[in-house]
Amino acid sequence: MDPLQAHIRQHLETYLEDLKRLLRQPSVAATGEGVEACAALVAELFAQAGAQVEVLRAPGAAPLVVADFPGPGRTLLFYDHYDVQPPDPLEEWVTPPFEPTVRDGKLYARGAADNKGDLVSRLAAVRALVAVRGGLPCRVRFLVEGEEEIGSVHFERYVREHRDHLAADACIWEFGARDMKERLHLSAGVKGICYLELAIEATSRDLHSSLGAIVEGAAMKMVWALASLKDPQTGRVRVPGFYDRVRPPSPQELEAVRRLPFEEEDLKRLYGVERFIAGKTGADAQYDLYFMPTCTVCGLESGYRGPGSKTVLPRRARAKVDFRMVPDQDPEEIARLVQEHFAAQGFPEMQVQLLGGERAYRSPIDHPFVQLAARVAGEATGRQVLLQPTSAGTGPMYPLGTTLGIPIVSLGTSYWDARGHSPNEHIRLSDWEETIGLMARLLERFGEEAW
């Protein structure tokens, strides 16, 4: 066995103690519980490993931890976050969410997969390299934020204000999973998001539904307005201008997606659907998944929702709608277009509030760093690697990537059943050990290769 791998195996319990310490510390961004204490603990873990640590602060924001490990030549940046999703429903956890527990080679705790496991695997790789090789092959910088689970509210501001301090040559992003066929997924980008809260008030109060002969209620108005957002046959968003800025995929991106497997029938079984939107199949559905923006009604509420019947003409209706966006769509512009669309459809009274907006980001998939990460991931793990030009999901890559002007690729420790955001979140310890080795190897190769 390679001495580096041997060292990692030998010291796995030590690294695991770091991870368990971090997992025992709640850090729920949505409620603020433990966020300050967790930032302090992250800073302490890095300092103990020999990093120079700075904790950046902005008014009303969770602390941003920046940790630097010295090394020659170029700088590799790791983006991680120390905050986690709320742990509820608590009763569905087999062991308590903030008491990390190993069962059957798996480590259970809130944050194990998203994203404390990643964070500590990367720190462990640094520790192993320093111990075995006597130093790092490049400079390594960690950027660990505390608001990822609530839309990275202050992240862009931090990045812009500290751009010189954060400079790097490339970045490894926070997530990355092994799929049901044990292939390793890397993403060179993310979709953006425009998350809207909609509200409509139709009458001065709830009315008796017998008045429905002459007065229209809020529920029906909301239904008509929402129905107008998307064509049920084609799945196309009907908001004028919505697709105007959609940047078509590059030939390289298109080719990368064509190379990706798409196990259509498996997916349909998993999701419990008989067909995909607009009846699309194969390459067409796959194209939409990676390259097209979406429109999803995430929540809906009006009138009486208890058991049995209540004959009410509801005063108010509310809805939550998200649009996953592709480059170069702008969340604020989309919010405005939606508002204008509702007015044109006869619902000028619809209140549209932008709850969260992030832009999409894609690194050039043929960038030498992206290709290097994919190659090393395959060599270090022996796994088949699927390199996606973008994830279908969202993260704050845009402010970092555009401000620093660097390529970013996502690569991590998770797997298909890790249950991030859900009860019994966990990682497989074998994946975790594998990822530590993979990250150490990537740092070495990053130090060797130029572009």
- Considering only residues 301 through 360, tell me which ones interact with a second copy, judged by CB under 8 A: 301-305, 308-314, 317-320, 322, 324, 346, 355-356
- The phi, psi pair for 449, rounded to 5°, reads -90, 140
Q: Of 193 and 429, which has the nearer Cβ to a second copy?
A: 193
Which residue in the set 84, 295, 418, 442 belongs to the binding site for a second copy (CB under 8 A)?
Answer: 295
**Sign of the C-alpha dihedral computed for residues 386, 391, 396 and 399 taken in this order:** positive
Closest CB 307 distance from a second copy, rounded Å: 9
Which residue in the set 179, 197, 340, 379 belongs to the binding site for a second copy (CB under 8 A)?
Answer: 197
Site for a second copy contains 199 (CB under 8 A): no
**Binding mask 54-93 vs a second copy (x if CB under 8 A, - otherwise)?**
----------------------------------------
Residue 42's contacts (CB-CB under 8 Å, 6 or more residues apart) are: 22, 65, 82, 119, 144
The residue among 447, 440, 448 whose CA lies nearest residue 122 is 440
Q: Of 9 and 224, which has the nearer Cβ to a second copy?
A: 224
- In the range 231-290, which residues lie near a second copy by CB under 8 A? 232, 235, 270-273, 276-277, 280, 285, 288-289
Closest CB 164 distance from a second copy, rounded Å: 32
Q: Of 324 and 428, which has the nearer Cβ to a second copy?
A: 324
- What angle, 0 to 180 degrees and rounded to 10, lies between the N-to-C axes of helices 3-10 and 117-133? 120
Token pair recorded at residue 402? 């555009």
* Max intra-chain CA distance, the chain: 81
Residue 340 CA, distance from chain mean position? 30
- In the range 393-422, which residues lie near a second copy by CB under 8 A? 393-394
DSSP 365: T
Q: Of 224 and 368, which has the nearer Cβ to a second copy?
A: 224
Number of C-alpha atoms within 13 angstroms, CB side, residue 363? 30
Say how many Å lie between the first and final Cα of the chain, rounded. Answer: 30
Closest CB 339 distance from a second copy, rounded Å: 18
Radius of gyration of the chain (CA): 24
The piece of 36-44, 112-120, 169-177, 207-215 that touches a second copy (CB under 8 A) is: 207-215
Three-state DSSP at 439 gives: helix
Closest CB 156 distance from a second copy, rounded Å: 17
The residue among 417, 357, 353 whose CA lies nearest residue 192 is 357
Q: Of 214 and 450, which has the nearer Cβ to a second copy?
A: 214
Token pair recorded at residue 7? 């060292």
Task: Yes or no: say if 394 and 407 are a contact pair by the CB < 8 Å rule.
Answer: no
Distance between CA atoms of 387 and 370, rounded to whole angstroms? 9
The piece of 133-141, 159-167, 206-214, 376-384 that touches a second copy (CB under 8 A) is: 206-214
Number of C-alpha atoms within 13 angstroms, CB side, residue 207? 17
- In the range 130-159, which residues lie near a second copy by CB under 8 A? 150-151
Which residue in the set 90, 215, 283, 344 belongs to the binding site for a second copy (CB under 8 A)?
Answer: 215
- In the range 360-399, which residues lie near a second copy by CB under 8 A? 391-394
Neighbours of 26 (CB within 10 A): 19
- In the range 11-50, which residues lie near a second copy by CB under 8 A? 30
Closest CB 193 distance from a second copy, rounded Å: 7
* Strands 106-108, 139-145: pairing kind: unpaired
Closest CB 416 distance from a second copy, rounded Å: 13
Q: Of 243 and 451, which has the nearer Cβ to a second copy?
A: 243
Closest CB 175 distance from a second copy, rounded Å: 12
Closest CB 163 distance from a second copy, rounded Å: 28
Closest CB 430 distance from a second copy, rounded Å: 25
Any bridge partners for residue 318, and if so which? Answer: 199, 301
